[in-house]
Amino acid sequence: MEERLWHKHYDYSVLKEYRFPRYPVQELLGIPSNVLPDKAAINYYGATISFFELRQLSCRMANALSEIGVKKGDRVGLHLPNIPQYIISYYATLTLGAVVVNLNPLYTADEMVPLIRQTGVTTLVTFDMVVPVVKTVAPQTDIPRIIATSVFDYMDGTEMSTKESLQMNDDWFHFSQLVDNCLNLTQPKVEILAQDPAMIQFTGGTTGIPKGALLTHQNIVAGAFSAFHWGSAFTQYTPFEKKTVMCALPFFIYMPIFSA
């Protein structure tokens, strides 16, 4: 590779060129679920979900989404904060070959409507604290499928929410009911190539409304492995079974790297 000025600032452990694997993003979850299945993938207010359990939940959610009509190429809006349901929905969407559309949960209805129209979102996964906003957005965008959940549903010591407690519309789907009612653990057989679209990530919108940047599976896998390699000068001394990541940044801007 041609020498560049910035190469001299690289840490000793960082190569100038990498060959990244060419597989879809959801295969990243298969690595720890096979090697360290009992290790906690998520620790949410004391409640833990292992990598094996996360893969199962994502597979069940993928099949549930397929049953309600989500297919390859569809846009699935994730309108969620940092909760387990985001991660489950993220991998479930990608497993179907559908495209994740990240939506800031702090958006107002006026901010959401043009972004949903622009990206062609046909499924929206949202949560209890923004249900009033979504009820305003829904009639203006005609989203066929809306799935709602609660930030408390995966916490220890709390009761599962219901459609009534979430004050959902009758034609909406309840996240936990979808997962619980789908016992199919077979990964959907969908051909997904490295160059297929995986995510629409919005820019900050400082000079106008946010612009949607399209990321492929290859883009996200390369980003995940790059983050791993760039941190290897320090992380190489910690065994894999003892590594922990604290996600302080919002998933809706950070999730491509969280895949690592």
Which residue ranges form the domains of the chain, and what is each CATH number? 18-258 (3.40.50.980)
CA end-to-end distance (rounded Å), the chain: 25
Q: Which helix (H) or strand (E) holds 90?
A: helix 84-95
Lowest mean pLDDT segment, chosen from 35-39, 75-79, 172-176, 201-205: 201-205
Question: What is the structure's pLDDT at 205?
Answer: 62
Contact 115, 157 (CB under 8 A): no
- Rounded to an integer, the average pLDDT of 8-12 is 84
pLDDT 10s digits, 154-183:
998 889 999 999 999 999 999 999 999 999
Q: What is the average pLDDT value for the chain, to the nearest integer?
A: 91
DSSP 3-state percent helix, strand, coil across the chain (nearest 5):
40, 15, 40
- Rounded to an integer, the average pLDDT of 11-28 is 87
Lowest mean pLDDT segment, chosen from 22-31, 160-169, 197-206: 197-206
More confident residue, 139 or 3: 139
pLDDT exceeds 90 at position 254: no
pLDDT 10s digits, 226-244:
888 888 877 888 888 888 8
- Rounded to an integer, the average pLDDT of 47-61 is 96
- Strand pairing report for 40-44 and 47-50: antiparallel
pLDDT band at 259 (very low <50, low <70, confident <90, very high): very low
Question: What is the structure's pLDDT at 255?
Answer: 59
Q: How far apart are CA 209 and CA 18, in angstroms?
A: 35
